[in-house]
Amino acid sequence: MGASLPLNPVIAMPTISEGNGGGPSEDLFELSTAPYLQNLTESSVTILCITNAKAHSWIEFGPKTLNLRTETHSDGFVQANNSLHKIQLCGLQAHTTYKYRVASRPIVKFDPYDLVFGETVFSNMFSFTTPATHADSVSCIILNDIHDRPYSFSDLLSLCGDFKYDFVALNGDMFDFQTDEKQLIDHLIEPCTTLFASERPFLMIRGNHETRGKYARHFKDYFTYKDNEYYFSFKQGPVHWIVLDTGEDKEDSAPAYGEIVCFDQFRETQAIWLETELEKLEFKDCKYRVVLMHIPVFHSGDWHGTMHCRKLFHPIFEKHGVDVVISGHTHTYGIHPPNNEHRYPIIIGGGPKTDTRTVIQLKADNRQLQLKMIRDDGLVVGEYSID
């Protein structure tokens, strides 16, 4: 991961003080985050970055040199005058490594016929590799229930040693509740970009705590989802990956929600979608079906969210023969093999506190799917394989 420029380059951006008698002051324009990857496919990727002031940003990239440039267009506009930048690179070649960096120039003045930019700044140089068209293997790391403890990302990923992974799945409850953009940066984006997210993508799977707080309705803006839905599926390696959003754990009528949630209906919509998705011919050649969902359908008490997920999703899992369901939520790690209640294994990651935290490694090829769960003290606390 070469770096010819500082991570957060800054420039002086003159502004006018709003105080009485205030003269010009200087604010520093900078990239508030390193870029991070979402939705990396054989032919495309979306790159996000946040700046501390409104700007115009683009991506410079290429397999060997930065000879290509992409910016976001919509309705005749080039995306600009924004601080959250989301740019998709399309037409990429499969199984190819690309170098890239973000370029951003602040908008110092934006009058109808007078537009003034500040000096362009650049991110570090990073790289990513697109998946092969018919990859016969895939691997990932799964984390859950970090609960606003950003140090846990490095603690847990350090346990993975030289395990090579294609992406990271954040399986819900990365936060206690949603407060503001700074929380998203400090407690998730910054630790993830420091460790991996500028060069490997992550899936942000919503848990019940991501639905809480005044900023919860802005949460989706900071990530990219297939069809812009929190539930989706995709094919990578020999695996059909199914991601579900299990919503809240209590009834919609619970006083804490203030009568402004409708997660029962949301889960019902997903169940209809799931039935159709598992019937699609494009996924029939996948050897494995892996479900990622925050609240497990069993081994999670009898809270409303668990019971409603069980009622809606469990019969579909059984009917279509999913191979494994991976969850979190309970803060009690465990490997639950098939039994009389469920014919598929349920893997539940641990909690946020020391001695309960876990990281799950998954790798699959055409011979076998293997799962390993490691506790934060380095002890392997569970393994499971599917032939």
pLDDT digits (tens, 9 = 90+) for 19-74: 333 333 357 999 999 999 999 999 999 999 999 999 999 999 999 999 999 999 99
Question: Is residue 12 over pLDDT 70?
Answer: no
Alpha-carbon distance of 277 to 220, in angstroms, equals 22
Alpha-carbon distance of 96 to 39, in angstroms, equals 16
**What tokens were used for 160?**
């993975």
Question: Is residue 81 over pLDDT 80?
Answer: yes
| Average pLDDT for 211-236 | 98
Q: Are strands 137-143 and 77-78 parallel, antiparallel or unpaired?
A: unpaired
Residue 56 — left, alpha, or beta (φ > 0 → left; ψ -120 to 50 → alpha)? beta
Q: How far is CA 203 from CA 39, 243, 337, 372, in A?
A: 8, 9, 25, 19
| Average pLDDT for 223-232 | 98
Q: Decide: 106 and 13 in contact? Cβ < 8 Å.
A: yes
pLDDT band (50, 70, 90) for residue 282 = very high
Which helix (H) or strand (E) segment is 265 a member of?
A: helix 263-277
Domain 10-129 and domain 137-386 have a common topology: no
Mean of the per-residue pLDDT values of the chain? 94
- What pTM does this model have? 0.93
Residues of the chain above pLDDT 70, percent: 93
Domain ranges, ordered by start, for the chain: 10-129, 137-386
Whole-number pLDDT of residue 6: 35
Strand, coil or helix: what is 173?
A: coil
Question: What is the tens place of the pLDDT at every residue in 186-202?
Answer: 999 999 999 999 999 99
Question: What is the tens place of the pLDDT at every residue in 83-139?
Answer: 999 999 999 999 999 999 999 999 999 999 999 999 999 999 999 999 999 999 999
Question: Is residue 251 over pLDDT 60?
Answer: yes
| Average pLDDT for 153-177 | 98
Which helix (H) or strand (E) segment is 84 a member of?
A: strand 82-89
Whole-number pLDDT of residue 26: 52
Whose CA is closest to 352, among 207, 183, 196, 181? 207
The domain 137-386 having CATH identifier 3.60.21.10: the answer here is: yes
Residues 6+ apart with CB under 8 A from 340: none
| Average pLDDT for 163-180 | 98
pLDDT band (50, 70, 90) for residue 4 = very low
Residues 6+ apart with CB under 8 A from 20: none
Which helix (H) or strand (E) segment is 315 a member of?
A: helix 304-320
Residues of the chain above pLDDT 90, percent: 93
Print burial letters for 71-102: b (CB count within 10 Å at least 16), e (below 16): ebeeeeeebbeebbbbbebeebeeeeebbbbb
Whole-number pLDDT of residue 27: 75
10-129 CATH fold: Immunoglobulin-like (2.60.40)
CA angle at residue 244 from 330 to 269, to 5 degrees? 120
Assign 3-class secondary structure to 345-378: CEEECCCCCCCCCEEEEEEEECCCEEEEEEECCC
Question: Is residue 9 over pLDDT 70?
Answer: no
User: Identity (one letter) of the amino acid at 373?
Assistant: M
Whose CA is closest to 365, among 271, 259, 238? 238
Strand, coil or helix: what is 59?
A: strand
**What tokens were used for 88?**
């998709």
Q: Decide: 43 and 94 in contact? Cβ < 8 Å.
A: yes
